[in-house]
Structures are given as structure tokens and as C-alpha cells.
């Protein structure tokens, strides 16, 4: 019985070790804390926040451009109920398209990627003297990590925006069709009245 339990325990332990996404040995928490300090020194969170603000601005411009195109095509006034609905649809699209992460979360992801390429000793050296040989390896790691990080973050943001943009476009088309139908009905009615004179 003891041998079976021992073998079962060993098997469970081996499975945990083999399937763990993070190393179970060594002081990963210490390395991660030091990387957090390095990210702060490098201003990574501020950089990520700037990128998020650019994305928000681009998304707002996209929604505003689409709104203006429909407004112009349908010749809608500010107080037109169809335009009011389109403004609301545009706002819903913008809010739903905001990135599903914060600058802090993006920075943590970047630090996690850096942890794959740097040892704790490298991180210590970077904190002590950024221009050391460890600093040069960090620059190389950043070159490798940067595009992967940007691609991952950009992809998630784009997927979020495009999913919401399709819903936004469908809503705008529906509103435009209703507006055109009402305008056409009004024109036909005006033509009939004009023909009776």
C-alpha cells in the first residue's frame, strides 16, 4: 500500500512539474519583482499607456468617420432621430472596442516575456548598471520580445475592435435602410400630392 501511494505521489508530483507553466525551482518571485522594478525604471507602463491612448484615438476616429459618411450620404440633420440613433451606435462601438487590458497588464505581459530571456543575475546587473554586458543582452532580448509583445497586444485589440465594428456596421446599415425607406415613402407621398393639383 505504501509503495502504491508513494508511486502515485511521485506520478502526481512529476505531472505537476512537467505541466507547470513556470519553473517550480529557484526564486521566480524575486526575479519577477526585480523585473517589475526594471519596467518602472524604463518607463514601460507609461509607454504602454501612450500606445493605448493612440489606439483609443484611432478607434474614435474610425467611428466618427463612419458616422459622418452615413450622415452625409443620408443628408441627416443633428436633430434627426436616425442620426441620434447612429450617434448612439457609434458610441457603443467605441466603448466596446476599448482594449481589454490596462497599461499595467500590458507591462506585466512584457515583463513576463523578458523573464523568458533574462536570468535573475542579468536583471540584477541591469538594475545596477544598465550599460553592462547584461544590458546589451537585454537590448537584444527587447528586440526579440518587442515585436512579439506588440503583435500579441495589437492582435487582441484589433480582434476586439473588429468584432465590435461588424456589429456597429450592421446597426448603421439597418438604421440607414430605415431612414431611406422613410425618405422614399415621404417622396412618393409628396409626388402623389403634387400630381393631384
Output the nine-digit C-alpha cell for 135.
Answer: 544590458
Whole-angstrom distance, CA of residue 62 vs CA of residue 161: 10
The upper half-sphere exposure of residue 26, i.e. CA atoms within 13 Å in the direction of its Cβ, equals 9
Would you state the pLDDT for residue 161? 76
Residues 58, 50: Cα–Cα separation, whole Å: 12
- CA-to-CA distance for 34 and 127, rounded, in angstroms? 8
Which among 149, 148, 154, 147 is positioned nearest to 52, based on CA atoms?
154
CA distance 117 to 127: 16
Which residues, at least 6 apart from 53, have a Cβ–Cβ distance to it below 8 Å?
none
Distance between CA atoms of 137 and 122, rounded to whole angstroms?
8
CA atoms within 13 A on the CB side of 7: 4
User: pLDDT tens, 41-90?
Assistant: 777 887 788 778 878 888 888 899 889 989 998 999 999 999 999 999 99
Q: 14: pLDDT confidence band, cut at 50, 70 and 90?
A: very low
Q: For residue 21, name the pLDDT band (cuts at 50, 70, 90).
A: very low
So what's the pLDDT on residue 195? 60
Q: Convert the pLDDT of each residue in 104-160 to its tens digit.
A: 999 999 999 999 999 999 889 888 866 677 777 776 787 678 667 766 777 777 777
Amino acid at each position: 500500500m505504501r509503495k502504491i501511494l508513494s508511486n502515485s505521489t511521485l506520478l502526481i508530483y512529476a505531472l505537476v512539474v512537467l505541466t507547470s507553466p513556470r519553473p517550480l525551482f529557484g526564486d521566480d518571485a524575486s526575479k519577477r519583482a526585480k523585473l517589475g522594478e526594471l519596467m518602472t525604471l524604463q518607463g514601460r507602463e507609461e509607454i504602454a499607456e501612450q500606445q493605448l491612448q493612440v489606439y483609443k484615438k484611432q478607434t474614435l476616429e474610425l467611428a466618427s468617420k463612419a458616422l459622418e459618411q452615413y450622415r452625409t450620404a443620408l443628408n441627416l440633420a443633428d436633430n434627426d432621430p436616425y442620426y441620434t440613433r447612429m450617434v448612439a451606435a457609434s458610441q457603443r462601438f467605441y466603448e466596446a472596442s476599448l482594449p481589454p487590458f490596462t497599461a499595467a497588464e500590458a507591462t506585466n505581459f512584457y515583463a513576463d516575456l523578458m523573464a523568458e530571456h533574462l536570468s535573475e543575475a542579468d536583471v540584477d546587473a541591469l538594475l545596477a548598471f544598465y550599460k553592462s554586458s547584461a544590458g546589451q543582452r537585454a537590448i537584444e532580448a527587447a528586440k526579440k520580445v518587442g515585436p512579439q509583445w506588440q503583435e500579441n497586444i495589437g492582435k487582441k485589440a484589433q480582434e476586439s475592435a473588429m468584432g465590435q465594428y461588424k456589429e456597429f456596421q450592421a446597426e448603421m446599415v439597418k438604421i440607414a435602410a430605415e431612414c431611406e425607406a422613410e425618405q422614399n415613402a415621404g417622396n412618393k407621398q409628396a409626388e402623389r400630392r403634387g400630381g393631384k393639383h
